[in-house]
Amino acid sequence: MSTTFSKEEKAAMRAAAAEAKAVKAGADLEAACLAAIADMTGTDKELAETLHRLVQTHTTLGAKTWYGMPAYTNADGKVVVFFQSAAKFKVRYATIGFQPDANLDEGNFWPNAYAVTKLTAADEQQLVALLKKAVS
């Protein structure tokens, strides 16, 4: 088993370090999130824009970047939901994931990430319900 990180993983770790410095320096975190989305292309960009719009419209979460990707935090600054583009890790689907501070616990077994290739209107409604539950 190799202990070497991929080029993409190393870039994500560098991005996380830069983000921590930016937070301490009082950087505009939402601008960084919007810039990360603007740098995306194709389906990744469309999906990230949709998630951003839904988060902004239906929650009070704040935007930032997390490992170089769009993320949304609660009042304590903890990431609740994040977007990971397919292109960044060269996989066939983007990911919308929820962190432990999302209030999605249900029984002993529940999903915390979703593979996404497209968001229909029905998918958006399901995502809005998850977002609302996550911040409840």
* pLDDT, tens digit (0-9, with 9 covering 90-100), for 48-106: 999 999 999 999 999 999 999 999 999 999 999 999 999 998 999 999 999 999 999 98
**Which residue ranges make up each domain of the chain?**
7-134
Strands 94-98 and 79-84: what pairing? antiparallel
111 Cβ partners below 8 Å, 6+ apart? 104
Spatial separation of the C-alpha atoms in residues 7 and 3, rounded to whole Å? 13
What's the predicted TM-score (pTM) here?
A: 0.86
CATH 3.90.1150 for domain 7-134, yes or no, is yes
Q: b vs e for 26-59, b when ≥16 Cβ sit within 10 Å of the residue's Cβ?
A: eeebeebbbebbeebeebbbebbbbbbebbeeeb
Residue pointed to by tokens 């990431």 = 79
The residue among 136, 74, 70 whose CA lies nearest residue 104 is: 136
pLDDT of residue 1: 53
Report the greatest alpha carbon distance in the chain.
44
